[in-house]
Amino acid sequence: MKKITLFIISLGIFFSLLGDDDFTYFEKEKNIWLQVYSNQLKAQATDSEIKALERSIKEAGTKKKIELTQLLKLQTSKKKILDELPQSFDAMLEKITVDSVKDIGLIEYIFTSQKGKFSIQTQRLKILKQEFDDAVDFLKKELSTAETSENRDFFKEYQLKKALDFFENARGLLENKEEVLRRTKQSYISELAAFKQTQLPLYIVKIVALLLIFLLFNALKYFISKKIDDEDRLFRIKRVLNISFFLLVLLMLIIFNISNIVYAATLIGVIAAAITISMKEYLQSMATWFHLSFGNSIKVGDRILLQTNNNQIIGEVINISLFQVTLYESINNTTALELKRSGRTVFIPNNFFVTNYVYNYTHDKMKTIYDLIEFKIPFTSDTKKIEELVTEVTIEATERYMEVATKQFSNLRKRYDMRSREFRPRIHFIPDTKSSCFILYIWYAAPYHQIMELKSQISQKIVKKLQENGVEFC
């Protein structure tokens, strides 16, 4: 126990000699070099303390081990904080740098010249060099004062001499950094001069050629506008000229840079990306055209319904082109109840089919759908009798369509995993929330091209049949 106590006392004396307070004289001047050096000394001292504590913990008893462990945690936390501070002259000088340019192009020559960056870094290095000299002068003055003091602090003198030796050895870092920066700048200026003499004239010729082509195409469009009066023909010719101009410019750019395969490939990639962004909808339409042409979801002759901006568009597909699908608006329930008009030709961009729902009335061989007729019947009516009468009339009018729908559905089941289904009429009585009546729903199979005609025939027969049997309507 006496040995451990003596060791702890000697350890405390050692810590007091290497404590943070003994290095504060390096921070009296607001100097980045002195601060970094002080941080380095503090980190070294803390490392020594941690190692000494770890050795003491191994030899100490249980009670002392707890105290030393707490002290170790404290020193470890201090070390983590010190590690966040700069502790190396090398790391400080690494920030004084300018990235070298491997190949100087027209954009680098005109817009991103690094001459200004070299000036900034040179000025920063000059400031650091002045602060370095100030730090050395400060250490020399402190050492002279300590040596002439009546109460001499030999440990402080030792630390100051050690610091002066360290700074003198580090002076070469500044000189090397200054030389590297100077040579990099000279190399960059030489490359700029070489580019100006060899490559810049070629770029000027290329730009002039592109400008001449641009002026030629615009002059050609101007004279064509004066000669042609037909607006549709003029529009088509201008569109052809614009596409031709774009392709010619693209071809010239590739030819100009064919000697530099990497640059040409990069240029083509940038142009392709620009085309993709600017012609996103057209490219989507082309991809959708491929899907519509070779898929089986929609084809010419199908009747489809589209939902856009809370409006419904329904009609028969009469053409599928590279950029659009053309519909002919037919007479049906939707046009009768909601649109109140029909017979228009509707042009829909192909990309619309990518992000919207499409309802196909005639998919594959399925050419029949369920249609609906509604009546309002009083609550006092004999619903069972009404159901029998309505079923009789509906089956009589739709029996042949039920057989057709069953055959068509059996063909559809061969392609999709679907349960079998009967296409008999469906009769439902649902209470109306707004009046004291039943809403009579009559669902029946109907061919897509005779929906309105069949609805009219069945409605008339049902009304006549129910009236003959004394059934009233709301």
Query: What is the CATH code for 298-360?
Result: 2.30.30
What's the rounded mean pLDDT across residues 161-176? 84
pLDDT 10s digits, 1-28: 444 444 444 444 344 434 444 555 566 5
Note the pTM of the prediction, 2 decimals.
0.42
**Is residue 242 pLDDT above 60, yes or no?**
yes
The predicted pLDDT at position 295 comes to 73
Residue range 369-468 forms a domain whose CATH class is alpha beta
The predicted pLDDT at position 55 comes to 83
pLDDT confidence bin for 261, thresholds 50/70/90: low
Distance CA 371, CA 373 (A): 7
Distance CA 19, CA 42 (A): 8
| Closest by Cα among 195, 213, 231, 236 to 109 | 195
Distance CA 335, CA 347 (A): 17
Which of residues 333 and 301 earns the better pLDDT score? 301
Per-domain residue ranges for the chain?
2-87, 106-197, 201-278, 298-360, 369-468
